[in-house]
Copies of this chain bind each other. A is one copy, B any other.
Amino acid sequence: MYVSMSRLAVPAERAPEPVAAFKSPARLAGSATGFIDLQLWQSDRDAGEVVMVGRWSDRGVFTAYLKSADHKASHRRIDPGRKADITMRELEHTPTYEMVAE
């Protein structure tokens, strides 16, 4: 299994919004072959720290998704106000991992 992890910094006062905001990308990614699931984690010490964890069957599936029309569409569908919030604060590169044990 292959894991992608995006750590986003969003304004804490908008913390209740991520669940709704990320449902569309999850639906889109869900149509990609080899996509397992997309989880949204919210820090319990800093409500403004949100982690998106994507799980994929292997690295190839993930990189194919990044190049896909679905991926572009998922970013287009982010609310413009939210996008500005995220971009202004920080949008780190996406660390990726092989799940080596569980």
- New A-B contacts (11) at CB < 8 Å, excluding given A18-B100, A41-B100, A45-B95: A3-B41, A5-B51, A39-B99, A39-B101, A40-B102, A41-B98, A41-B99, A43-B95, A43-B97, A45-B96, A51-B97
Q: 1/0 per residue A75-102: CB within 8 Å of B? A: 0000000000000000000011111111
**Copies, count:** 2
**Chain A interface bracket (under 10, 10 to 19, 20 to 34, 35 or more):** 20 to 34
| Interfacial chain B residues near A13, Cβ < 8 Å | none
Q: A: which residues have CB within 8 A of B?
A: 2-3, 5, 18-19, 22-23, 26, 37-45, 49, 51, 59, 95-102
| Majority secondary structure, A binding face | strand
The answer to whether A102 and B42 have CB atoms under 8 Å apart is: no
Give Cα distance in the complex from A88 to B102, angstroms: 26
